[in-house]
């Protein structure tokens, strides 16, 4: 095995562990922290089914963002929807045989990459052009956008400028998954692409990217409006009560 291959094998194992363990620990923390009070943003659904629908609309349509700001919504939606298709398209590197529906979306995946990058550039533009958004932007906000744009451009580079040996890439990743590392083609676009992807995986659990799992834990969105029907009490509040009565 070449040095490059060894490095990337180590990098991807580490990044995967950090991503999975890191996100799992954060989710565990969110799940275990109690919500002592009923605080859904009203009017809220009165049933659990209603809540599922509300979160579905937030995740699939970015409903609240649509009400808030049309430009952010358009760019945000282009980016996320593009990202979703791109990631689904990427499943072909990790499955053998490739699932039939992953094959179906291959053609859309190519355009999705442009949508993703355009969306990202639009969002990034806001950070310079809109004074309010400029004020609240931190260096890490810019860097995360740069990272994603970098991933997108290096990916597009492989698709349109200098093709990589996709079959070998797939062999490499299947090898990783089967714990028998295989050689990785060493062209610049691919190595850049993969290094940036690994970085993204590593920072995911310690950054604002936690918004993706976090949105499901937001009490203002995931609670029902049922405070007059069913008593809601947190364990620590119950202890407080027990101490007095």
Binding site for ligand HEM (CB under 6 A): 59, 62, 65, 72, 76, 79-80, 83, 86, 89-90, 93, 109-110, 113, 116, 123, 141, 144-145, 148, 151-152, 155-156, 158-159, 163-164, 166, 169, 173, 193, 197, 209, 211-212, 215
Q: From the list other proteins, ligand HEM, none, which binds 97 (C-beta under 5 to 8 Å, kind-based)?
A: none
Residue from 139, 178, 239, 242 that binds other proteins (CB under 8 A)?
Answer: 139
Q: With CB under 8 A as the contact rule, which of the stretches 1-9, 100-108, 188-196, 223-231 interacts with other proteins?
A: 223-231
Residue from 16, 23, 38, 192 that binds other proteins (CB under 8 A)?
Answer: 38
Q: Is 57 in the site for other proteins (CB under 8 A)?
A: no
Buried b / exposed e over 137-172, threshold 16 CB at 10 Å, is beeebeebbebbbbbbbbbbbbeeeeebeeeebbbb
Burial class (CB in 10 A: 0-12, 13-18, 19+), 192: middle
Q: From the list ligand HEM, other proteins, none, which binds 92 (C-beta under 5 to 8 Å, kind-based)?
A: none
Q: Is 206 in the site for other proteins (CB under 8 A)?
A: yes
Buried b / exposed e over 207-224, threshold 16 CB at 10 Å, is eebbeeeeeebbeebbbb
By beta-carbon proximity to other proteins, the closer residue of 69 and 182 is: 69
Q: With CB under 8 A as the contact rule, which of the stretches 2-10, 98-106, 147-155, 218-226 interacts with other proteins?
A: 218-226
Query: Minimum CB separation from ligand HEM for residue 33, in Å?
Result: 20
Q: Is 121 in the site for other proteins (CB under 8 A)?
A: no
By beta-carbon proximity to ligand HEM, the closer residue of 7 and 209 is: 209
Number of residues that bind other proteins (CB under 8 A): 62
Positions in the binding site for other proteins (CB under 8 A): 26, 29-30, 33-39, 41-46, 58, 62, 64-65, 67-69, 72, 76, 123, 126, 130-133, 135-141, 143, 203, 206-208, 210-211, 214-215, 217-221, 225, 227-228, 231-234, 236-237, 240
């Amino acid at each position: 095995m070449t040095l490059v291959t060894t490095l990337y094998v180590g990098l991807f194992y580490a990044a995967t562990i950090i991503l999975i363990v890191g996100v799992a620990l954060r989710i565990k923390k969110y799940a275990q922290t109690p919500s002592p009070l009923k605080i859904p943003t009203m009017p809220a659904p009165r049933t659990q089914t209603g809540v599922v629908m509300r979160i579905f609309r937030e995740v699939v349509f970015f409903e609240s963002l649509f009400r808030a700001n049309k430009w952010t919504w358009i760019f945000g939606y282009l980016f996320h929807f593009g990202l979703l298709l791109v990631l689904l398209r990427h499943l072909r590197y990790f499955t053998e045989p490739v699932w039939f529906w992953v094959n179906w979306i291959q053609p859309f995946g190519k355009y999705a990459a442009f949508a993703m990058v355009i969306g990202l550039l639009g969002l990034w533009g806001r950070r310079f052009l809109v004074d309010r958004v400029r004020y609240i932007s931190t260096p890490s906000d810019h860097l995360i956008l740069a990272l994603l744009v970098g991933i997108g451009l290096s990916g597009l580079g492989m698709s349109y400028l200098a093709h990589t040996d996709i079959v070998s890439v797939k062999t490499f990743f299947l090898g990783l998954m089967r714990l028998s590392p295989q050689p990785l083609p060493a062209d610049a676009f691919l190595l850049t692409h993969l290094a940036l992807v690994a970085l993204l995986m590593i920072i995911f659990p310690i950054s604002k990217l936690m918004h993706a799992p976090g949105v499901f834990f937001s009490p203002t969105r995931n609670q029902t409006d049922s405070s007059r029907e069913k008593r809601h009490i947190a364990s620590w509040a119950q202890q407080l009560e027990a101490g007095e009565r």
